[in-house]
Amino acid sequence: MEEKKVIAGMDPDMLAIHLATAGIDERYARRLLYWVYRRGIRSFSEPDDIPVRVKSALEERFITGVNPPVSSVRSSDGSVKYLFGTAGGLSHETVWLPEGRRMTVCVSVQSGCRMGCRFCATGRDGWRGNLTAGEIVNQVVGITDPFTHIVLMGMGEPGDNIGEVIRACRVFTAEWGLAAGRSKVTVSTVGVTPAVRRLLDETEVNITLSLHSPFADERAEVIPAERRWPFTESLELMQEYDNSRRRRFTVAYVMIKGKNDSGRHLEELRRLLHGTGIRVNLLPYHPLPGDSEKSADEKTMMQFRHQLVTSGVGASVRRSRGADIAAACGMLASGGTTRKRKG
């Protein structure tokens, strides 16, 4: 028996082709995408504006691809961490982060990770597989929480699954998809140069580069990808991009006490970013079990921010959310027993 097609992750043209092949009027494509992406239907019996005969044909050849999480846990600050599973057995986590009027969904793009970053518990556990565009989208559609922003900053490296990530971003931003808007979607990467180029050329989403250190030799010790794709290549691509549509380019900088919070790190950040329009997002470090490293204190982080801003580099300090449920930045894993960091 032919395997049923998954609608989640498709665009109107792709769905129209599959509908026509199944003998279903392709004009139903956009209507079906509305029900899948905007209404999150799990069964074709739910739409009330599609004929019964068409719904019966859909049930035979398609599935919506919208599935609820396996489990969830709520933080004392209101954040919620969800565990999802795929039909192929890949576990991955998603976090919903409410903060005033801003409600962000942080989604994963892989189960595990291949980047091998020293501070990444998920990477230490190994890579189990890429998520499809539909499985990435399902992390937003499959929960009932409202959202204003979507960040691809969870498990996995977007640059290592760039084709599916770009497809998911199109669904997130397109009017036939979730219509979140290009300025409300952000992709975080360690700087896989060819993937950054594709994100710039094929999407209009915001891009965040996980830096760790402005010195290449220090960064390479922690982020092995630096040896293959120097972070300066990604910075140059963002700096040279014609940003007339005002995409936001950011450097994520996790501050570790005594490691990357010195005056020379600050001066090099200033030198690299002054006049580029690229912002700095300063984040606290969340130690892994058995980790002797500590986060820079709040005073140091605020001083870093002040010095960057007064020198003309946009900067902010991001408050930790969901730490008590291992849902803060750098703490996601496939099941909650391990933790992962990007930055």
- Residues 58, 175, single domain; the answer is no
Q: Is 120 among the catalytic positions?
A: no
Number of other residues whose CB lies within 10 A of the CB of residue 152? 26
- Residues 29, 147, single domain; the answer is no
Kindly report the length of the chain: 343
Q: Is residue 336 part of a domain?
A: no
pLDDT at 107: 97
Q: What ranges make up the beta strands (E) of the chain? A: 5-6, 62-63, 71-74, 80-85, 91-99, 102-106, 110-111, 129-130, 149-152, 185-189, 206-210, 249-255, 279-284, 315-317
Q: Is residue 207 part of a domain?
A: yes
Q: Is residue 318 part of a domain?
A: yes
C-alpha triplet 278, 81, 38: angle, nearest 5°:
80
**At which of 45, 63, 81 does a domain end?**
63
pLDDT at 339: 39
For residue 45, what are the domain limits? 5-63
- Residues 110, 84, single domain; the answer is yes
Looking at the structure of the chain, the number of domains it has is 2
By the 8 A CB rule, do 224 and 262 touch? no
- Residues 309, 192, single domain; the answer is yes
Active-site residue, from 26, 93, 135, 236: 93
| C-alpha to C-alpha distance for 28 and 5, rounded to whole angstroms | 15
Q: Which residues lie closer than 8 Å to 249 by C-beta, 6 or more apart?
A: 206, 207, 208, 209, 238, 241, 243, 276, 277, 278, 279
CA of residue 248 relative to chain centroid, distance: 15
- Residues 39, 135, single domain; the answer is no
pLDDT digits (tens, 9 = 90+) for 223-246: 999 999 999 999 999 999 998 888
Structure-block tokens of residue 61: 């050849």
Give pLDDT < 50 ranges for the chain. 336-343
| C-alpha to C-alpha distance for 105 and 233, rounded to whole angstroms | 29
- Residues 203, 288, single domain; the answer is yes
- Residues 33, 95, single domain; the answer is no
- Residues 115, 24, single domain; the answer is no
Specify the DSSP class assigned to residue 299: H
Q: Is residue 341 part of a domain?
A: no
- Whichever domain contains 230, its CATH number is 3.20.20.70
Stated pTM of the model:
0.93
pLDDT at 281: 96
pLDDT at 80: 96
Structure-block tokens of residue 260: 């990357």
Q: Is residue 331 part of a domain?
A: no
- Whichever domain contains 22, its CATH number is 1.10.150.530
pLDDT digits (tens, 9 = 90+) for 189-217: 999 999 999 999 999 999 999 999 999 99
Q: Is residue 311 part of a domain?
A: yes
By the 8 A CB rule, do 46 and 66 touch? no
- Residues 139, 251, single domain; the answer is yes
Q: Is 117 among the catalytic positions?
A: no
